[in-house]
Structure 1
Amino acid sequence: MNARTIELLAPAKNVSCGIAAIDHGADAVYIGGPLFGARAAAANSLVDIERLVAYAHQFRARVYVALNTLLEDDELDVAVRLIHQLYSIGVDALIIQDVGLLEADLPPIPLHSSTQMNNRTVEKVRFWEEMGFTQVVLARELSLAQIRQIRDATTVPLEFFVHGALCVSYSGQCYISEVMAGRSANRGQCAQFCRHAFDLVDGQGTVLVKDRHLLSLKDLDLSNHLGALIDAGISSFKIEGRLKDVSYVKNVTAAYRLALDAIIDTRNDLLRASSGRCQFRFTPDPARSFSRGATTYFVHRRDKAMAEIRTPKSIGKRIGRVSTVDARSFTLAGDEAVHNGDGLCFFDRDNTLVGVRVNRVEGRTIFPKDGVARLRLSPGTEIFRNFDIQFNRVLEQSTLCRQLAVRMRLAEHAEGVQLTITDEDEIASTTTIETDKETAIKGETISSVAVRQLKKSGGTVFTVSDVSLDLSPGRFLPASVLNALRRKAFARHLEIRRASYPRQEKIRPRNDAPWVAATVAYTDNITNRNAAIFFLHHGVRQLHPELLRAGNVPECALMTTKYCIRFQLGLCSGAKIQKGRIAEPLFLTDKTGTYELCFDCSRCEMAVRNIEHHQQ
């Protein structure tokens, strides 16, 4: 059996985050380019991306650019020119959503099918494989059984989100920002409606739940299920977070690096997807970074409480309960240390999140910056930490924790000495330096001096595992010569590694493989002439332009979700609805409008529709 390569894929808001991700163990990073990324607030210049490419490639790590928005007709040519530029600077792949690009003149750069292409079925993934995609990002809602079914029917590498924020709607199938705010999530301008506070109202006008974040999901955490995902067929493990800061990237990437290595190192059928090993001076703990609480979503079974309806903000890590309260302080039970400057939080009697800034700590007694009176704390209250000042200071100092193992051989040369470096990928380089041939008179032997000086790799990406010498007896080399040779050799070896990087290219096939359906609708996200041509090429009989925009379709679903509010609130047990407890239909209301909830229990799905738009 051939060994399978396992990839850890980390997010990069900018080049600093990208370098941090590589340093902390990412086999690949995904980053937005100057235009057309699904996070409009995370754009990056070509110069910065080229710098990140050079840094990543020294570790045989890859850089994927997210060009995963839908394009208008007047943007197609701009997007194609950008793709050629990205290819020319060495980007390893593009993550795309718009099929119009498949009808354009693209360079042979590998393409990944974005999760926004709604990749939930065998038929869809098989189609993208036939279209020449080299990786497919599956929908987050899939179970292990569904992943196995797709893997058994296809060969294209499968990518799956394992950590981070969740969209409540199927990705690519959310139109609420577009219809209600004129900001298309499919064009990188999500207005975050799912994080709003809503009232839940029944058909008789009774308010069932008031002012709660009923569509706001917890954050995904599949760190304890990586082995099962590998066995189901996942080969790329993706961390969400292209808007997250560098501390989040370091911490979460390191945590998943250690978790994956613990699996890979015990199995002969798995390989790491890049080179170098990490050693961290901190203990990774994703709960110490941005976290709304954790859910496993649907990977094994439907999580019983996958939403955190009390707040869309970061709660962080639970650190204990209040034991006593006095006029100026409170005492915390538990073992987790608290420090001056920490940010704590808790839910008050009204289930509203309250923040606490720590001014001073004496043992387990905490003195809040703004006093205790306003907090209305009582014994037994759970306390969380959403800003860990000491942990963040440690993360700030965490750099160069990934190194490439090399062997060295120092030998005679006609004009001096030469140093041959061979790294863990068996890439070799030889560097020569001119020097006079001197004979040792007294003191240390050349062996001990040379080994000591050549093993000094601080400030580089290398760690020297072995030094061998092939020198004349009695030969002397000053430490200054050895140091100069080592620096020159390391620089040369990096150049050779980058030049020998095994770039992958992909020529996409031209075929007439039929689309997965005979017709298309607004949910197929056709926004330009090329996309329309693509679907016609692949068997769609006709397109009705007026029905291809969600805002033009009165009955459109603003969101289609696997998440169910009835299940979240305990109003549904499996397929059996708790009838008689509520008067359906149900509605969500907030300052933006009233939205009807439509339940399809045969598919275990929920749709959110705009009632005013529906009645027009």
Structure 2
Amino acid sequence: MKQIELLAPAKNLETGMAAINYGADAVYIGAPKFGARAAVGNTLEDIGKLIKYAHRYWAKVFITMNTILYDNELKEAEKLIHDLYKLGADALIVQDMGILEMDLPPIELHASTQTHNFDLERIQFLEKVGFKRIILARELSLEQIKEIRANTSVDLEYFVNGALCVCLSGQCYFSHATTGRSANRGECSQACRMKYDLQDENGNVLAKDKHLLSLKDLNLSNEISDIVDTGICSLKIEGRLKDISYIKNITSYYRKELDSVFEKKREFTKASSGTIDPKFDPDLDRTFNRGYTSYFFTGRIPEIANFHTPKSLGKEIGKIVSIRKDHFIIDTKYDIHNGDGLCFFNKNKLLKGILVNGVKGKQIFPNEMSMLVEGATLYRNNDHEFAKTLKRDNSIRRISVDFYLEFTNDTLTLFATDEDGISASVQLQQDFELARNRDMAISNLQKQLVKSGGSIYSISNIEDNFTDVPFVQAKQLNELRRNVLDRLTEIRIEAFQKTENQDLISHPQYPTKNLTYMGNVVNCKAEEFYHKCGVEKIEKGFELQSNYTGKTIMTTKHCLRHEFGMCKKEVNTDAKPNTPLYLVDNKNRYKLEFHCQRCEMKIVLE
């Protein structure tokens, strides 16, 4: 059977352990430095603890070091990689090709989505370089993924849920150009979530104060079966900045969906051990989301962005039927609770929020009445009761174990065999008194041994070969059980086989002789790598330049011509495809160029 991995994000040790407990086969977490979320670096100590916890379940831990590196950081980064390898990290996620010219341990390397893994030619190049896995661009469609899979043998990873970068990953310079904070250095200022006016070449305003670049969140939960069939080996959830409640809910939801697919497609199975048992029904709509889209998975679709707000909407729950003096009447099938946060769009399409102070049937008493709009659709972006349930739930993922008791020559042996066929045994030797009531003694033994307590195991079955039944004190049985499960854990970790990447990185011919600033080369080792691959001319990376005028600062498949019904391919319009539009904020005007053959929009700094 082919193993399919569910890969979840981890902001820190706590969320990483939660991701494992709620169904992740692997987690990805930021190194102390050089991760694409600079705000969530983690200590080596915490990373080591997470690795040990994950490996008990045969789950993996991938470390993100996917920023570009400056020359003065190369030695520090190299040492850090060796430290992570010694801790047992299962893979390193990288963007900077300079890392490949370091003295690396034989750690598995994954090509970050920041290397913009969109074109087949690019992906084939990275495979020849020696990457074990390539994290595909979010913009790819099902058919494009199939083509890539048919022409490569490298492991492929694909995003299925979470926030979407509107720019092609690794190709966004908007933040650095306007604030000095580089997205390729993990410091993105999220210019895409800001408000802009859209103007034509004559200055006519086509849209005013809209979040024109703010995409909805990705949700491919209805496409899991097709994704698995393409040959994708890892389904990735975005969210290294998200809190533990989000991780519990989203991870358990996708665990449930994947397991449902495996029940129908017996050729696939999960990539780690154990079973989850959350005490809640996971629901994607009930935690942070900006509204959902399938993006380009099934081809170009309308309304992949939410022009009105970049904030969380949550779950649509009903409508405001009528407004009274101190309350309003809601038409809904859901229970509303004190403390719920509700939101709606007013007549000007601005998102407004209210807090529920009281509920009497369909009567809702909010903290604010003046903003309400009769007939408005209501969303619940803070589900108070669900949030409390998620916070209280501390489920531990359990590995199924069978016990077998054997008693011979004053020696009681307890054997433990887990769901993966891993076995351990411990013995207790003494002069045992034989039990007078055989059936009662066996029942007492089983009742004591089935209590797996706070361990990661659940005891599924207990068998014995008793002729005579020894009388064993409860504390002795507890110690026997603890010892055999501790030994089983040690053997499980020893049996967990890490696959190591090839020792040497190769240098295949790069597809072009010239590399622009979009190659993100900002250190001498990256230059060395590309020169070895036949690149003759390398432009300095954007972060090393000082004049950005005329530079493309964003390339995106999100096309505002398409969104506003001006796509030459789809409607009969007199507008020329290459006629520019402009984004305008309170500081700058940005030229929009449309490359219709590739269905791309570029933002150019004037």
* TM-score in terms of structure 1 length: 0.95
Q: Deviations over 1:278-301 (max 9, x none)?
A: 122111101111000000000001
Deviation, structure 1 residue 543 = 2.6
Answer whether contact 1:400 1:459 (CA < 8 A) is retained. Answer: no
Compute the displacement of 1:336 (Å): 1.2
Distance 2:323 2:266 in 1: 56
Q: Distance in 2 between matches of 1:547 and 1:358?
A: 48
SS in 2 for 1:445: helix
Aligned to 1:223: 221
Structure 2 distance, partners of 1:133, 1:582, is 39
SS of residue in 1 equivalent to 2:515:
coil
Deviation at 1:575, TM superposition (A): 4.5
Cα gap change, 1:413 to 1:501, in 2 (>3 Å): farther
Q: Which of 319, 328, 331 is 2:326 aligned to?
A: 328
How far apart in 2 are the matches of 1:544 and 1:176? 18
TM-fit CA distance, 1:223: 0.2
Structure 2 runs not aligned, ≥5 long: none
Query: What is the SS of the residue equivalent to 1:82?
Result: helix
How far apart, in 1, do the equivalents of 2:594 and 2:546 lie? 21
The residue type equivalent to 1:556 in the other structure is K
> Who is 2:65 aligned against?
67
Deviation of 1:86 (Å): 0.2
| C-alpha deviation, 1:436, in angstroms | 3.6
One-letter amino acid matched to 1:376: L
Amino acid at match of 1:411: E
Question: In the alignment, what sits opposite 2:13?
Answer: 15
Note the alpha carbon deviations across 1:428-487, whole angstroms, 9 max, x for none. 111223444012134852221111111112322111111111234242223232222112
Partner AA of 2:427 in structure 1: T
Hey, what does 1:113 align to over in structure 2? 111
Q: Distance in 2 between matches of 1:78 and 1:546?
A: 21
Given the alignment, which residue of 488, 512, 517 partners 2:512? 517
- Equivalent in the alignment of 1:264: 262
In the alignment, which of 368, 371, 375 is matched to residue 375 of structure 1?
A: 371
Paired AA for residue 377 in structure 1: V
8 Å contact from structure 1 (residues 6, 272) kept in 2: yes
Confirm or deny: 8 A CA contact 2:579 2:593 kept in the other structure: no
1:537 and 2:535 are equivalent in the alignment: no
Q: 1: distance between equivalents of 2:579 and 2:104? A: 51
Query: Any idea what the Cα deviations from partners look like across 1:293-340, whole Å, max 9, x if unmatched?
Result: 000000001121000010011011100011121011111112111111
Quote the offset at 1:576 in angstroms. 4.2
Please say which of residues 481-490 and 127-136 is displaced more in the overlay. Answer: 481-490
Provide, for residues 364-399 of structure 1, a one-character-per-residue CA deviation record: whole Å limited to 9, x for no partner.
Answer: 211112x31x22321x21000011111111111222
Deviation (angstroms), 1:562? 0.4
1:40–1:188 CA contact under 8 A, matched in 2 = yes
| Among 437, 444, 453, the residue aligned to 1:449 | 444
Instruction: State the Cα distance separating 1:493 from its structure 2 match.
Output: 1.6
Which residue identity is paired with 2:254? Answer: Y
Q: Which amino acid aligns with 2:5?
A: E
Counterparts of 2:490 and 2:58, CA distance in 1: 13
CA-atom RMSD, angstroms? 1.8
**Contact 2:116–2:170 under 8 Å retained in 1:** yes
SS in 1 for 2:602: strand
CA contact (8 A) 1:195 1:215 kept: yes
Q: CA deviation at 1:504?
A: 1.7
The answer (yes or no) to whether the contact 1:159–1:234 under 8 Å persists in 2 is yes
Separation in structure 2 between the aligned mates of residue 535 and residue 422 of structure 1, nearest angstrom: 51
Question: 2:522 touches 2:540 (CA, 8 Å); kept in 1?
Answer: no
Structure 2 vs 1, CA of residues 585 and 469 (structure 1 numbering), >3 Å: closer, same or farther? Answer: same
Deviation string 1:114-141 (CA, Å, 9 cap, x unpaired) is 0010101111111111111111000000
Provide the C-alpha distance between the structure 2 equivalents of 1:306 and 1:499, rounded to a whole number of angstroms. 47
Aligned residue identity for 1:249? I
Question: What residue in structure 1 maps to residue 480 of structure 2?
Answer: 485
**Which position in structure 2 is the counterpart of 1:152?**
150
Offset at 1:555?
2.9
User: How far 1:173 moved relative to its partner?
Assistant: 0.3
Match of 1:58 in 2: 56
CA contact (8 A) 1:123 1:516 kept: yes
Q: Which amino acid aligns with 2:516?
A: A
- Partner residue of 2:462 out of 459, 467, 481: 467
Give CA-to-partner distance per residue, 1:200-224, whole Å, 9 cap, x none.
1112112111111000000000000
Aligned to 1:143: 141
Structure-2 separation of matches of 1:250 and 1:315: 19
Distance in structure 2 (CA, Å) of the matches to 1:260 and 1:426:
23
Q: Shift of residue 547 of structure 1?
A: 7.9
Asked whether the equivalents of residues 92 and 109 of structure 2 are also in contact (C-alpha less than 8 Å), the reply is yes
Distance 1:103-1:413 versus aligned 2 partners, 3 A rule: farther
Please give the per-residue CA displacement for 1:561-585, whole angstroms capped at 9, x wherever unaligned: 0001121222226454633599953
Cα separation, partners in 2 of 1:48 and 1:553, compared to 1, 3 Å = same
User: How far off its partner does 1:412 sit?
Assistant: 2.1
Q: Which residue of structure 1 aligns with residue 591 of structure 2?
A: 596
Deviations 1:125-163 (A, max 9, x none): 111111111110000000011101100000111100110
Q: Is the 8 A contact 1:203 1:583 kept in 2?
A: no
Q: Deviations over 1:490-510 (max 9, x none)?
A: 222222212322122112434
| 1:163-182 pair list within 5 angstroms | 163-182=161-180
Residue of structure 2 aligned with 1:346, choices 338, 344, 368: 344
User: 2:305 matched to which residue of 1?
Assistant: 307
Alignment of 1:428-443 (within 5 A): 428-442=423-437
- Indicate if the aligned counterparts of 1:213 and 1:312 stay in contact, CA closer than 8 A: yes
CA gap 1:168/1:550 in 2 versus in 1, 3 angstroms: farther
Letter in 2 for 1:201: Q
Choose which of 65, 84, 87 in structure 2 pairs with 1:86. 84
Distance 1:506 1:163, change over 3 A: same
Which residue identity does 2:322 align to in structure 1?
T
Amino acid at match of 1:478: Q
Q: Is 2:604 the counterpart of 1:606?
A: no
Which 10-residue stretch deviates more, 278-287 or 42-51? 278-287
1:614 aligned residue: none
The answer as to whether partners of 1:42 and 1:242 remain within 8 angstroms in 2 is yes
Distance 2:246 2:439 in 1: 48
Decide which moves more: 193-202 or 416-425: 416-425
| Conservation of the 8 A alpha-carbon contact between 2:452 and 2:458 | yes
Matched-pair identity in %: 44
Deviation by residue 1:584-614 (Cα, 9 ceiling, x = unmatched): 5311111231111111111110001111xxx
Give the equivalent residue in structure 1 for 2:194.
Answer: 196
Is the Cα contact below 8 Å between 1:132 and 1:508 reproduced in 2? Answer: no
Cα displacement (A) at 1:345: 0.3
2:550 maps to 555
Structure 1, unaligned runs of 5 or more: 612-616
Task: Report what 1:403 is aligned to.
Answer: 398
